[in-house]
A and B are shown apart, each in its own frame.
Chain A
Amino acid sequence: MPDPESGEIKSYVEQLIAATLGGTMKWTQVNPTTYVWDTRVPQPARLSLQRLERQELRPSLGQPIPSIQKVHSFVFQAFESQPGGTLIQRLGIASQENKELNQLLDKLFQTIDQLRTRQSLDFLKNIIPPTKQQ
């Protein structure tokens, strides 16, 4: 597993954000907190981005007692797709301990989420029959 501190990973994540925004990567939602992207070229592979939520005791401003806050972290995985549909994990990164990477993956997740929401709204807009006022 590569060092999550490495700038190389961050650079790849930035490329993923750009590709997602550019529309060259179409992510699929497999559950409320996980998106996957499949590719056939240059070799069959799958990327997976999962958001994890946990509760942490954190100091709150102006309060002597720390409060429970929801904290998000991410698991980013890359799988090699084998013939027959078997997936072999080639990369697995948990961003819990890396704040900078966590922010980047959060940005990627939000980008995917916003694009999917936009697509869903566009779909809804297209299928709703026009009203007389329009």
Chain B
Amino acid sequence: MTVDTQSVSDQVLELLRQPFWRRYDFWIGFAIGIAGLVFSILAFIEARKAKTAANAAARTVKSQTVAIELTEIALKLDRIKPDIRFSEARDLLAEISRRFHRATSPFGNDPGLSETIKTNVEALRQVRESLKAVRPTDPAKEGEAPLAVYNAVEEACSQISSSVADLIGLFEREAVDFGDDDA
């Protein structure tokens, strides 16, 4: 072993004997590592916030869509005419029922909406029962009691219309989001 090699070896051994935290390059690496960790945590927090905001935005858009759908249902209910025939009322009710269930089913377990949704579902069930009570014995002679279908469903439809209006208000509130989180 030459003198130079011995000298280098001694220097390496000297360096190895020294505690690592006394070395400046350790602290540079440590500082960079801590900064990286902090930025990672901040990025995670921001990503969580972004996800929450995206979910809230999606819910707002969905609420607006449902509010529009329910408004169309309410308008259809309000346009029932006295001369409505059984088959027309049956088709209208089937359409309203289908659209209502499709629009509100994602919110069926929502604590702020579920009760009003249930009230509407029950009202729809009642109007279906009322309609069954005027199913013509002979469809060809349905015209013999010209206002029978209207008499049977008008009050129930009016109640559903009011109840749907309540639900529209709740969905519009959801869309605007006056909740405590934003207060």
Measured CB to CB, the residues of A under 8 A from B are 28-34, 36, 46, 48, 50-55, 75, 77, 79, 85, 87, 89, 92
Q: A29-B137, A31-B136, A54-B156 are in contact. Are A75 and B151 (CB under 8 A)?
A: yes
1/0 per position for B137-173, CB-CB distance to A under 8 A? 1100111111110011001100000000000000000
CB of A75 to closest CB in B, whole Å? 5
Residues of A within 8 A of B138 (CB): 30
Indicate if the CB atoms of B135 and A32 lie closer than 8 Å: yes
Question: 7 A-B contacts, Cβ less than 8 Å apart?
Answer: A28-B144, A30-B141, A36-B145, A48-B147, A51-B133, A75-B147, A92-B147
Nearest B residue to A35 via CB reads: B145
Counted as pairs of residues, one from A and one from B, with CB atoms less than 8 Å apart, the total is: 65
Indicate if the CB atoms of A54 and B133 lie closer than 8 Å: no
Indicate if the CB atoms of B144 and A32 lie closer than 8 Å: no
CB of B169 to closest CB in A, whole Å? 23
Indicate if the CB atoms of B152 and A30 lie closer than 8 Å: no
- Extra A-B contacts (17), CB below 8 Å, given A30-B136, A54-B126, A89-B147: A30-B137, A30-B142, A31-B133, A31-B135, A31-B148, A32-B135, A33-B134, A33-B152, A36-B144, A46-B144, A48-B145, A48-B147, A50-B151, A77-B147, A79-B146, A87-B143, A87-B146
B65 at the interface (CB under 8 A from A): no
CB of B159 to closest CB in A, whole Å? 9
B60 at the interface (CB under 8 A from A): no
Residues of B within 8 A of A32 (CB): 132-135, 137
Chain A CB within 10 A, most for which of B133, B135, B145, B147:
B145
B130 at the interface (CB under 8 A from A): yes
Residues of B within 8 A of A85 (CB): 143
Measured CB to CB, the residues of B under 8 A from A are 86, 126, 129-130, 132-138, 141-148, 151-152, 155-156
Indicate if the CB atoms of B144 and A53 lie closer than 8 Å: no
CB of A60 to closest CB in B, whole Å? 19
Residues of A within 8 A of B135 (CB): 31-32
**Of A36, A52, A79, A92, which one neighbours B152 at CB under 8 angstroms?**
A52
Instruction: Tell me the complex Cα distance, A22–B142, Å.
Output: 28
CB of A42 to closest CB in B, whole Å? 21
Nearest B residue to A94 via CB reads: B151
Residues of A within 8 A of B142 (CB): 30-31
Residues of A within 8 A of B155 (CB): 52, 54
Nearest B residue to A77 via CB reads: B147
Instruction: Tell me the complex Cα distance, A53–B130, Å.
Output: 7
Indicate if the CB atoms of A50 and B144 lie closer than 8 Å: no
Residues of A within 8 A of B146 (CB): 79, 87, 89
Instruction: Tell me the complex Cα distance, A61–B131, Å.
Output: 31
Instruction: Tell me the complex Cα distance, A77–B146, Å.
Output: 10
Residues of A within 8 A of B129 (CB): 53
**Of A28, A29, A52, which one neighbours B151 at CB under 8 angstroms?**
A52
Residues of B within 8 A of A33 (CB): 133-134, 148, 152
